[in-house]
Amino acid sequence: MDKAFSHNNKNFGATYLRIASSEEKAAEGISWETPVDPPLAPRAPLKREKADSIAQAKRTAWLILSPSDYRDLPSNDMPADWGAWREAVKVECRRLEAAFGAAESYEDFDAVKAEWPLSPAEQEQQQEKDKPSTEES
């Protein structure tokens, strides 16, 4: 606010707006207008947002599963926990596809939240992190 400025070819000092009375400002043609909040950026059409989100869910599932794809080959014996996790990821992807596809409004669409399962390795890391410390002082 304390910044020099020019108005109607007249220079004003840095403190003018703070110290001048309302009448003095009005005589100079200076008035305060409350800024209007800018309009929110319009959202993409719901149909496009749904298609983009479905594609993103599929990409995410692929990214989650791709590091463990070698386990899916018939020649390898996949541990049961990894097989169950891979199936849970696929189920979550299908759930997201169905939920995004069924959304009839932006509110329905925004309510859809992904809940990707943790891999067996991530579950093990989480358990290690959650273990209470057994260090003795």
Q: Going residue by residue through the chain, which has 137 residues, state the pLDDT in tens, using 9 for 90 and above.
A: 588 888 889 998 988 888 889 899 999 999 888 888 887 888 899 999 999 999 999 999 999 999 888 766 665 677 888 889 999 999 999 999 999 999 999 999 999 999 999 999 999 998 888 888 665 54
Q: pTM of the entire structure?
A: 0.64
Q: Which residues contact 20 (CB under 8 A, 6 or more apart)?
A: 28
Cα 94 from chain centre:
21
C-alpha closest to that of 116 among 77, 90, 82, 136: 90
- Which amino acid is located at 65 in the chain? L
User: 72-81, long-range: CB within 8 Å, 24+ apart, which pairs?
Assistant: 79/120, 81/120
